[in-house]
Amino acid sequence: MKEHILKEKAFVYELPRTQPNMAGYEFNDENGYWINQKNKKPCIKDPSFAAPRTKKHDIETGEDKKGE
């Protein structure tokens, strides 16, 4: 029996998805953003930090974290 069109056309990938490596950074609750543990600068301003291009980091799964 044929599969449903959405199932047939789905892009399948292995779990787990990669999570960003946050070693060297810490989340500052008071400021509400990640900082570099050494220089205390915001992580997203750090050129060596790979800023995410989508919220899910590696796989585009819609824009409001429906994949949670």
Partner 1 sequence: MNNVEILIISDTMDFTTDYICIELKRRNVNYLRINRDKFNKYKIVFDINGLTLNIIINSRKYIIDENNLKAIYYRAPIYLHDTYKPNLPLEKQLYRSQWTAFLRNLTLFENIKWMNNPIDTFRAENKMLQLKYARDIGFICPNTYLVNSIEEIEINKNSNYIMKSLDTVLLRNGDKEAFVYSTVMTGDELMNSEYQLAPVVIQEYIYPKIDLRVTVVGDDIFAAKIEKNGLGIDGDWRKEKENVEFIEVELPEEIKRKCIQIVSELGLSFGGIDLILHNNEYYFVEVNPTGEWAWLVNNAGLEIDISICDYLQNSR
Residues in the site for partner 1, rule: CB under 8 A?
Answer: 1-15, 17, 19-20, 27, 29-34, 42-45, 51-55, 59-68
CB of 28 to partner 1, least distance (A): 9
CA-nearest of 16, 18, 9, 43 to 28 is 43
Residue 11 or residue 38: which is nearer to partner 1 going by CB?
Answer: 11
Q: Which residue has the tokens 């509400």?
A: 32
For Cα atoms 60, 65, 67, give the angle at the middle one, nearest 5 degrees: 70
CB of 54 to partner 1, least distance (A): 6
